[in-house]
Structure 1
Amino acid sequence: VLAYLRLIAFPKDDLSLGRIINVPRRGIGDATLEALAQLAAVHQVSQLEICARAQEFPALSRTSGRLQLFATLIERLRQALLSDQMSFPEYIEWVENETGLVQDILDQQEKSKADSVDRIENLKELLSDAVEFDQNRKTQIEQLAGSGPAQQPDTADDHLILATTLPDILNAFLERAALYSEMDNDAGEQDFVRLMTIHSAKGLEFKAVFLVGAEEGLFPGYRSMASESDIEEERRLAYVAITRAREKLYVTTARSRLVFGQTQSLMVSRFIREIPDEYMDERGGSRRGDRSAEFGETPKIDNPFVTAAPARRGPAANGPVRPTASSPAPTAMGQTGPTASGPAKKGIDPASVHPGDRVRHTSFGEGKVIRVDPVAGDAILLIEFGKVGQKRMLSRQASLEKL
């Protein structure tokens, strides 16, 4: 998705074009890509411009239609950006859907369910990042308005203060992503915390270890919570993580967390609650309680992706987030964002859908739910629509209503 966003923002970015021109698959092979690069070099224009003019070049005659469709897609996404009619998170969600990335995941589900889950999670995490980025930007603008004359920004994050239009916000977002990438590649000889998965840490030891996100739904992950054997496997991973520390182990949990675009309060991980008290020095809270209870809510353990409160779109208020059960649900990747033609149609809460339910789709008419596969706070529905056959759809995304 980042490569799509870079090409939308910078149409001359040939490197990004090469990464996405065939994602999802468009039948554009290596020979065509090589011809694109050669023609762009000869004519001293971008490869995207060559795609738009593909019918002019005999070397591209076999794929000219596909190349022009791709160029038209990028131009449409770019015009939506320049029109500045959506919020930043809405635009990211819209791009994820309009590029065909979401539908490609659904189409590939039967071949590799685990891979489909991971890819959907990646898309939703990018949306979470966009929501958080936009909240921080609005907060900085609010603070700037009350702090007198603006000072010249000197870091990537400071540029957020100046970003008010959708194109500028996207540029700032991409600039920050590039800065973080450079920081990851330039650790030098200074002291730093090395980021790694628990699997990759096997066999290694460190003086100090930070285990972050020790919460139900994250560790153990929500996909493991339905199987005792999967829970035991993650318990073994917890043992691996804890025993990587030679001297000090820091375990952190969040009071509230933005997960897949939604603010949630999760319980402290069972693996941490199982550690004897004499080995723990607790700061800032109790692992015996749960985060929802701290806010006066009923704990929601069985379904860690039940939303406690929406990710706020306005400027962030001072102090911690105080979720309320009555707050309306936010727009997440599972719900289609606004398009140039009108507002988005809401989908169905995945928790309310079961095999055998009757639903109505705006295009396919009435159908029967055959299967429900929970995934990343959403669900992939297999629906039988009679004459048009079976279709796979994301519950929150599709234009569906229960009958």
Structure 2
Amino acid sequence: MFEKFLMQNRIPYKISGGTSFFSRPEIKDLLAYLRVLTNPDDDSAFLRIVNTPKREIGPATLKKLGEWAMTRNKSMFTASFDMGLSQTLSGRGYEALTRFTHWLAEIQRLAEREPIAAVRDLIHGMDYESWLYETSPSPKAAEMRMKNVNQLFSWMTEMLEGSELDEPMTLTQVVTRFTLRDMMERGESDEELDQVQLMTLHASKGLEFPYVYMVGMEEGFFAAPEQYR
């Protein structure tokens, strides 16, 4: 929750002693899909999602697609629609690739009219929940990961719809906001002190800050008050 509001208000922050919501694999997967929807030229995002979940699009198929796209100065996603590609690719790999990219193009067209419905259809259409149960170490872990995906969808819905205080955002604006957060995480350094530090009590041991807020005390998560009397 704190990450959500800090990110929405463009307030820099760093997490210590815990895992950032936006660094979780399932969140990165969904954001990669959304990056391709809003920017078809994003090859790194395309390569992350093309086999997530598995689609039988092998390395040889992707290598040939990449070479085809490079010689024509196109992104891999855009090049996948070229009529002449069938002369270079064939078989199950080509069929799986075209099935995937044509489905994604349909979601892309829907996103132009109804972005919330498009994101919902995206999550359901790729059957991500089933894939999480297949690849997670336990059903409980899969359930928690899917809960994170649903939480991200809920946040996106709020940002797309807007509120009394915030104007509705476009899907591109929402994805850009999330992507900037990911870039900040990858570029963080210990010298960047002018930011909110989110950490557990244990992680803060020995550290000093000008302002400290201990949250959740009213929920009884910390030691009982009588222990300090």
TM-score (norm. length: structure 2): 0.70
Q: Which is strand-richer, 1 or 2?
A: 1
How far off is 1:23 after superposition? Answer: 0.4
Bigger radius of gyration, 1 or 2? 1
AA aligned to 1:127 is: F
Q: Would you say the 8 A contact 1:73–1:99 is kept in 2?
A: no
Task: Report SS of the residue matched to 1:271.
Answer: coil
Residue 221 of structure 2 is aligned to residue 271 of structure 1: yes
Q: Which secondary structure does the structure 2 equivalent of 1:139 belong to?
A: coil
- Paired residue type of 1:171: T
**Structure-2 separation of matches of 1:197 and 1:118:** 21
Task: Give the conservation status (yes or no) of the 8 Å contact 1:40–1:50.
Answer: yes
* In the alignment, structure 1 residue 92 sits paired with structure 2 residue 119: yes
Q: Does 1:205 align with 2:206?
A: yes
Residues 246-299 of structure 1: CA deviation (Å, up to 9, x unaligned)? x9863213xxxxxxxxxxxxx9433336233757xxxxxxxxxxxxxxxxxxxx
Contact 1:55 1:61 (C-alpha < 8 Å) held by counterparts? no
Q: Deviations over 1:349-385 (max 9, x none)?
A: xxxxxxxxxxxxxxxxxxxxxxxxxxxxxxxxxxxxx
Q: 1:138 aligns with which of 163, 169, 179?
A: 163
Q: 1:58-90, CA deviations, whole angstroms, 9 ceiling, x for partnerless residues?
A: 4421311001001111111011112x246x3x4
CA shift in 2, pair 1:106/1:190, >3 Å: closer
The question of 1:22 aligning with 2:51 is answered yes
Of 146, 151, 159, which residue of structure 2 is paired with 1:120?
Answer: 146
Matched, 1:176 2:177: yes
Q: Once the 2 structures are TM-superposed, how far is the Cα of residue 99 of structure 1 from its aligned partner?
A: 2.1
Say which SS state the counterpart of residue 57 (structure 2) adopts: coil
Identity of aligned residues (%): 23
- Following superposition, the deviation at residue 7 of structure 1 comes to 0.7
CA contact (8 A) 2:33 2:46 kept: yes
Gaps of 5+ in 1: 142-159, 164-168, 209-246, 254-266, 280-403
Distance 1:107 1:205 in 2: 42
Q: Alpha carbons of 1:189 and 1:251: their partners in 2 closer, same or farther (altered >3 Å)?
A: closer
Conserved? CA contact 1:51–1:64, under 8 Å = no
For the structure 1 residues 54 and 197, does the alpha-carbon distance in structure 2 shift closer, same or farther, using more than 3 Å as the test?
farther
Closer, same or farther in 2 for the Cα pair 1:129/1:106, shift >3 Å? same
Query: Following the alignment from structure 2 to structure 1, what is the Cα–Cα distance between the partners of residues 150 and 46?
Result: 22
- Per-residue deviation, residues 319-362 of structure 1 (Å, max 9, x unmatched): xxxxxxxxxxxxxxxxxxxxxxxxxxxxxxxxxxxxxxxxxxxx
> Aligned partners of 1:108, 1:190: CA distance in 2, in Å?
38
CA drift of 1:207 comes to: 2.0
Secondary structure at 1:52 match in 2: coil
Contact 1:35 1:59 in 2 (8 A): yes
Instruction: Give the aligned length.
Output: 197
TM-score (structure 1 length as normaliser):
0.43
One of 94, 101, 108 as aligned partner of 2:128: 101
CA contact (8 A) 1:54 1:60 kept: no
CA distance in 2, matches of 1:198, 1:97: 39
Distance 1:95 1:122 in 2: 16
Judge conservation of contact 2:41–2:77 (CA < 8 Å) in 1: yes
2:75 matches 1:46: yes
Equivalent residues of 2:108, 2:118 under 8 A apart: no
The structure richer in helix per residue is: 2
Counterpart AA for 2:43? D
**SS class of match (2:60):** helix
Q: Aligned letter for 2:151? A: E
2:46/2:77 contact within 8 Å kept:
yes
Superposition deviation, residue 133 in structure 1:
2.0
Task: Name the aligned partner's letter for residue 274 of structure 1.
Answer: A
What per-residue deviation string (whole Å, max 9, x for no partner) do you get for residues 138-175 of structure 1? 3246xxxxxxxxxxxxxxxxxx56x4xxxxx1011012
What secondary structure sits across from 2:222 in the alignment? helix
For the 8 Å contact 1:54–1:64, the answer to whether it is kept is no
Name the residue aligned to 1:192. Answer: 195
- Secondary structure in structure 2 of the residue aligned to 1:15: helix
Tell me if the contact between 1:54 and 1:61 (Cα under 8 Å) persists in the aligned partners. no
**8 Å contact from structure 1 (residues 81, 91) kept in 2:** yes
Task: Give the structure 2 partner of residue 316 of structure 1.
Answer: none
Q: 1:50 to 1:130 in 2, by over 3 A?
A: same
